[in-house]
Each structure stands twice: as structure tokens, then as C-alpha cells.
């Protein structure tokens, strides 16, 4: 059996059940494990710690599959883990009002590097680690055995695969992909999603609860939705009887789907405005025009995937929040988010506070928001809690 031996004292994270082993913690590798193969992880004294997937190209040299020495990593193992993840969603997702949700959330579902989102009866699968790549066929077989699955489509077209030494890949794995775009339901609203070419796996499922929150406070408000993508927050604001909604995104195609989504939900297009352009530039233009709004929503893409990029990314977050505050009417509501894993919640709050200071406004946090329940965070793995949101009121 191939073995990975840790340096003395470097087993502490594993004893706390954190699932990553970094290259700097390794004393030696016994045997000749291939990329993604299962490897036995032991401490410097030879004591068993875990079974992991070996990734020679990554700084995360191994990701833990199991902490039980007697457990075998095989088809049955993946079948059981996938069923456990599905059962959790059965308990926490109301299938009568919502047909799109995250089925498997990687490390937080004890399947590191595997992301699977369900859209109606179609699964979109992302393989982000060498271990999942190694067991790809068995995982697809297990997913296909779930009730009601008609299609599995791979969207492993993400740059993080470079860190694992894996090429990007997309394509059909099982069944037949429905005609795109297709309609899904979320909180009884409907959305067109393009599973084959849309951002992420087609829709930002992690914001489901936060969109619903927006719906509840949007009544009679003028709303500015930045980084609008296909208009998720815009549709919810209109469903909450917003007075008007201005949506900005760099993708004309995404905004076209946004308009279609408004129509799909019988929203009033006359209450909407759509701007295709760079959000930073458009925010400056709106400021120079003296525009102001009752609600500003800032849901940017990932500026800092890792902590090493946090300092540079902080400038971008500060700038958009500075403009957000300047565009808010006194008493207005700012809903601001960061999905960057490299920026933790205290740092994000500091960035927003600095933006308010530079904008010369007084502001208070009234709610903290995060990802929906189908994106759980395993307690030993705080990195799983990546989405941070603040609901901030500008002083009068």
C-alpha cells in the first residue's frame, strides 16, 4: 500500500478532521502512487490517520476520503456518500417550490473536489481534484442510479483544475441534455438557465435564500443590481413589488436572459433598465450623473480565490462598495457580498467599513447573510463557508 508520512507535529490539522494535507507537511511518500490514487496517511510515528487521494501536482498533496482505517475506498464508498448528500437535501430543500439546488458540496459533503448541482432531472458535475478524476466513472455510475436522473453533464471547465494538473473538460456523461436554455423553479419563481455554457453550472444557487430576502424588502424601492448575470436578484426585487430595477452586467447575453426571466415571471419590463458594461465604469458614470437608489445590490465574481490574492482583491471590493454607498439614498439598503475564499468575514466587514468611511457616510449592519442550506459547511472545514453577505443601512 502506498503511504504518505507526515513530518513530526504536522498531524494536528488531520486530528481536527481538516481534510487537506499540504506538501510542506509531508516527510516522505512510500511506494509510487499515481495521480488520484488512494494513499494511506500516517504520522511520523507510523500511526494511521486517514485514507486520502494523492495529487502530486497540487500544493494540497492529499485530500481525505475517510478517517476510518477499516473503510475501503471503492464504488460502495462513493455510492453511500452520494446517498447521504442526497438525503440531506431531501430534508432541507422544498422540492415543491424549488427544482434547482446543490446536491454535493465537495469537502463539506465528505467528497473533496466534487461539486454536483441538480437542475430538474439534470445533474451538472464539476471535478475539481485528482481524486475525483480518478474515480470519475464510479461516481457517474452512482449519480446515475439516483431516482429520477435523466442526464449528467460535466462542466469541469474551471481553471482550478490546472492546480491539480488536469485539463479542462466538458461533455455529456449520461443520458441526454435537455434543450438549452431550460426552465427551473426557485422559491416558486422561474428562471431560464443555460447549463452547457452559463457561468458556474448555469445559475448561482448559493444565493437562493438571499434573493428571497431581497424580495421581502424590495417593496416600493428603486433597486440597482450590479453584476446582475441573468437577473436573479432583479426578478426577486420585482416579485417583491420594487418600484424600479436597474441591472448591470458585462455580458449582453446574460442580460438578455435576465429580460426573458422578467417576462417569464410576468414582471413589468417597463420598470426595468439594463446596462451592458464594466460595472466599475458604470458605477462611476451613475455617480457622475447624480443617480441614487433605495437599494444597491453588489454580488461580484470571485476576486480572491486564495488568501494570497486577498490584498489585491480588497481594492476592488472597496471600490465597488464605495460607489455603492455614494449611490445609496440616505436610509437606503446596501446588500453586499463576497464569494472569495481568500477573504474571511472579518476582513470583508473591514473592507465595507473602510468604503463607508471614504464615502463619508454613517452605516450599520442589520443582517449577515451566507450561502443556502444546500451549500453546508463541515465544522472542521471553515473554508466551506465562502459566501459572505452584509445588509447595511446608510444613515439619514
Separation between Cα atoms, residue 66 and residue 361, nearest integer Å: 50
Separation between Cα atoms, residue 109 and residue 51, nearest integer Å: 16
Separation between Cα atoms, residue 230 and residue 212, nearest integer Å: 16
How does DSSP assign 35-52, residue by residue? Answer: TT-EEEEE-TT--EEEEE
3-state secondary structure of 366: strand
Q: CA–CA distance from 254 to each of 227, 261, 275, 277, 306 (Å)?
A: 10, 10, 11, 12, 27
> Which amino acids are annotated catalytic?
339
Is there a contact between 362 and 341 (Cβ–Cβ < 8 Å)?
A: no
Separation between Cα atoms, residue 37 and residue 25, nearest integer Å: 19
Across 303-319, b (16+ Cβ under 10 Å) vs e yields bbbeeebbeebbebbbb
| Cell numbers found for residue 252 | 449582453
| Nearest alpha carbon to residue 48 among 31, 24, 32, 64 | 64
Amino acid at each position: 500500500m502506498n503511504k504518505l508520512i507526515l513530518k513530526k507535529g504536522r498531524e494536528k490539522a488531520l486530528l481536527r478532521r481538516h481534510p487537506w494535507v499540504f506538501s510542506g507537511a509531508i516527510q516522505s511518500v512510500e511506494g509510487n502512487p499515481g495521480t488520484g490514487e488512494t494513499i494511506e496517511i500516517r504520522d511520523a510515528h507510523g500511526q494511521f490517520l486517514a485514507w486520502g487521494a494523492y495529487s502530486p501536482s497540487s500544493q494540497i498533496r492529499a485530500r481525505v476520503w475517510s478517517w476510518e482505517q477499516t473503510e475501503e475506498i471503492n464504488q460502495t464508498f462513493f455510492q453511500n456518500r452520494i446517498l447521504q448528500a442526497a438525503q440531506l437535501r431531501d430534508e432541507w430543500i422544498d422540492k415543491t417550490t424549488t427544482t434547482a439546488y446543490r446536491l454535493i458540496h465537495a469537502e463539506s459533503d465528505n467528497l473533496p473536489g466534487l461539486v454536483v448541482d441538480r437542475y430538474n432531472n439534470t445533474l451538472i458535475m464539476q471535478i475539481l481534484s485528482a481524486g475525483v478524476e480518478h474515480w470519475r466513472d464510479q461516481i457517474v455510475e452512482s449519480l446515475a442510479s439516483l431516482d429520477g436522473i435523466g442526464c449528467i453533464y460535466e462542466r469541469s471547465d474551471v481553471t482550478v483544475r490546472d492546480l491539480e494538473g488536469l485539463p479542462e473538460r466538458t461533455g455529456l456523461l449520461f443520458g441526454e441534455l435537455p434543450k438549452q436554455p431550460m426552465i427551473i423553479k426557485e422559491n416558486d419563481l422561474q428562471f431560464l438557465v443555460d447549463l452547457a455554457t452559463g457561468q458556474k453550472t448555469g445559475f448561482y444557487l448559493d444565493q437562493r435564500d438571499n434573493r428571497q430576502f431581497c424580495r421581502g424588502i424590495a417593496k416600493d424601492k428603486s433597486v440597482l443590481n450590479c453584476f446582475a448575470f441573468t437577473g436573479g436578484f432583479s426578478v426577486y426585487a420585482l416579485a417583491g413589488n420594487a418600484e424600479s430595477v436597474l441591472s448591470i452586467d458585462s455580458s449582453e447575453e446574460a442580460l438578455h436572459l435576465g429580460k426573458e426571466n422578467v417576462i417569464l415571471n410576468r414582471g413589468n419590463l417597463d420598470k426595468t433598465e439594463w446596462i451592458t458594461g464594466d460595472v466599475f465604469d458604470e458605477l462611476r458614470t451613475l455617480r457622475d450623473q447624480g443617480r441614487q437608489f433605495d437599494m444597491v445590490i453588489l454580488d461580484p465574481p470571485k476576486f480572491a480565490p486564495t488568501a494570497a490574492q486577498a490584498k489585491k482583491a480588497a481594492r476592488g471590493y472597496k471600490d465597488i462598495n464605495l460607489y455603492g454607498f455614494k449611490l445609496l439614498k440616505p436610509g437606503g439598503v446596501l446588500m453586499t457580498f463576497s464569494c472569495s475564499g481568500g477573504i474571511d468575514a472579518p476582513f470583508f466587514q473591514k473592507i465595507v467599513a473602510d468604503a463607508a468611511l471614504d464615502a463619508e457616510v454613517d452605516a450599520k449592519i442589520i443582517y449577515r447573510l451566507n450561502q443556502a442550506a444546500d451549500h453546508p459547511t463541515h465544522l472542521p472545514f471553515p473554508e466551506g463557508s465562502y459566501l459572505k453577505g452584509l445588509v447595511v443601512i446608510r444613515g439619514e
